[in-house]
Amino acid sequence: MNTLLEATTTRTNPGIDPSLHIWGWEIVVYLFLGGLVAGIFVLAAALELKSGEKPRGPALRLMPFAALALISLGMGALWLDLAHRLWAWRFYLFFHATSPMSWGAWILVLIYPVGLLLGLGSMDDGQRAWLRGKTPGALEGLLEKLFGWADGARRGILVTSIAMGVALGIYTGLLLGTMPSRILWNSAVLGPLFLASGISTGAALLLLLPLEESERKTLVSWDAIAIVAELVLIALMLLGFATSGDVGQWAASQFLGGPYTAVFFSCVVVLGLLVPLLLEVVEAKRHLPFATILPVLILTGASPSAGSSSRRASTPPSASSPDEVNEMQPPVERPFWNPYVAGFVLGLVLLTSFLVMGFGLGSSSAATRLAVGTAHLIAPKATEANAYFSQYVGPGKKILEDWLVFEVLGIFLGGLVGAYSAGRLKSEVIRGEGVSKGHRIAMAVVGGILMGFAARLARGCTSGQALTGGAILSLGSWIFMMCVFAGGYLVAPFVKRDWR
């Protein structure tokens, strides 16, 4: 008698099984667009339910159709990832209630009729007239029926849209969370985390549109709630990993001191969550103008090259109460900090850096790494052959994986948040009355080059040598500080016209 044996394995190591499929850009595109569309569905419908009226802005009224276009792009990317693309239709021959994959396949189809009705019901008379003019005669009757359904069952459609958005946002996380082979994703928290992230991303995209003031304020407050939820869920996920077995503890170690620590906490937690949340809180408390860098940071998750801030063009409130009039006035610039207080706080930061990181502060090394990395991209062989540059680049070396790089990135963002909260975030060239902008910028560039070259000769700048070296009573650092002050006083008379 023959016995049939079934072998089940969760091993997905491409080094052991080279034939196993590794997800590429297609899955990344789908995950981003799927979460974005889920957030748009939830927020667009919730805004209308809250206000009791259709969206006022033309862009917001058409967002359901834009969401359908985006999810189509995401599904196209998902289809490209399939090994047997022509068999995709087989997903719709059955439905398994216990399978997240089956739920996802049907959700991606049902999202289209719900989104269509949501969009048709949001259109104003002018947009509907334009659509009627573009519709072939044979389909005019069907279009009118759709308009009737979209208007007659409006509240039901809005509630269904929220439900579909929640389902679309949460099912992927549930699917990935059930995969024990994907250790870093094997968490029940992943589903709600995907949903919160999608809502925050959707809010960020909507905030880039020209909105009514009330709509913008509502979205900002909802986005803040979603960001807080993300932070709590991330903490719960890491806590769950850290308090589980060996596999979970290994997963936690990848984010808590492992190879993903710097990128995850600096780019995702700090830039993508904490900085936008802080900007939203400061904006609400001080009635500051809206900054476009807030949604850009969230959408990019967050790229340090995100754009500059500017006031959002929105329709002013029709009311003229004292509070609303006050909110429309430009913010008053706050005075600079007392330099002695600022110096004391900087000393505490330096002490914290020693205690937490085991290192002091610095900055010029980050600029060096960025410059060497750029040179290596352009001329890798020549850069590696250079005696000085070779200590940064070469086989097995990752030039940007250094804590100083992320510290300098934090300095930039801290300055951005500080200037914004003090009402001083603006573009200007500070110069003397008789000095042109070009001359002042040229002098700054020349001075920066000399300072960077000197910092490499001195093996540190005013932060690495003066602050860190001075704090540990290094003789060379104290000599460096004295030379910096002496040089500054000697050169100041020759360049004071650039400032006065």
More confident call, 328 vs 44: 44
Q: What is the arithmetic mean of pLDDT over 77-90? A: 82
207, pLDDT greater than 50: yes
Tokens 């002490």 found at: 351
Q: What is the arithmetic mean of pLDDT over 6-31? A: 63
Could you report the per-residue pLDDT of 217-246, keeping only the tens digit for each?
888 888 888 998 889 888 888 888 887 778
Q: What is the arithmetic mean of pLDDT over 403-410? A: 78
Tokens 């969370």 found at: 177
Q: What is the arithmetic mean of pLDDT over 199-206? A: 88
Q: Indicate the average pLDDT of the chain.
A: 78
Amino acid 315: pLDDT: 33
123, pLDDT greater than 60: yes
Amino acid 289: pLDDT: 61
181, pLDDT greater than 70: no
The two tokens of residue 177 are 């969370």
C-alpha–C-alpha distance, residues 112 and 500, integer Å: 63
How would residue 24 be classed by pLDDT, with cut points 50, 70 and 90?
A: confident
CB proximity list for 2: less than 8 A, separation 6 or greater:
none
Amino acid 163: pLDDT: 92
Could you report the per-residue pLDDT of 48-73, keeping only the tens digit for each?
888 888 887 788 888 889 999 998 99
Amino acid 499: pLDDT: 67
Kindly report the three-state secondary structure assignment for every residue of the chain.
CCCCCCCCCCCCCCCCCCCCCCCCHHHHHHHHHHHHHHHHHHHHHHHHHHHCCCCCCHHHHCHHHHHHHHHHHHHHHHHHHCCCHHHHHHHHHCCCCCCHHHHHHHHHHHHHHHHHHHHHHHCCHHHHHHHHHHCCHHHHHHHHHHHHHHHHCHHHHHHHHHHHHHHHHHHHHHHHHCCCCCHHHCCCCHHHHHHHHHHHHHHHHHHCCCCEHHHHHHHHHHHHHHHHHHHHHHHHHHHHHHCCCHHHHHHHHHHCCCCCHHHHHHHHHHHHHHHHHHHHHHHHHHCCCCCCHHHHHHHHCCCCCCCCCCCCCCECCCCCCHHHHHHHCCCCCCCCCCHHHHHHHHHHHHHHHHHHHCCCCCCHHHHHHHHHHHHHHHCHHHHHHCCCHHHCCCCCCCCCCCHHHHHHHHHHHHHHHHHHHCCCCCCCCCCCCCCCHHHHHHHHHHHHHHHHHHHHHCCCCHHHHHHHHHHCCCHHHHHHHHHHHHHHHHHHHHHHHHCC
Q: What is the arithmetic mean of pLDDT over 388-400? A: 77
Q: What is the arithmetic mean of pLDDT over 386-410? A: 77
C-alpha–C-alpha distance, residues 280 and 421, integer Å: 10
How would residue 305 be classed by pLDDT, with cut points 50, 70 and 90?
A: very low
How would residue 323 be classed by pLDDT, with cut points 50, 70 and 90?
A: very low
C-alpha–C-alpha distance, residues 116 and 118, integer Å: 5
More confident call, 76 vs 22: 76
Amino acid 9: pLDDT: 54
326, pLDDT greater than 50: no
How would residue 285 be classed by pLDDT, with cut points 50, 70 and 90?
A: confident
How would residue 311 be classed by pLDDT, with cut points 50, 70 and 90?
A: very low
Separation of CA 57 from chain center: 25
328, pLDDT greater than 50: no
Q: Which of 2-6, 97-101, 414-418 has the lowest mean pLDDT?
A: 2-6
Could you report the per-residue pLDDT of 438-491, keeping only the tens digit for each?
888 888 888 888 888 887 777 777 777 788 888 888 888 888 888 888 888 888
Q: What is the arithmetic mean of pLDDT over 334-338? A: 72
How would residue 376 be classed by pLDDT, with cut points 50, 70 and 90?
A: confident
Phi-psi group of 52: left, alpha or beta (phi > 0 → left; psi -120 to 50 → alpha; rest → beta): left
- Residues shown for the chain: 500
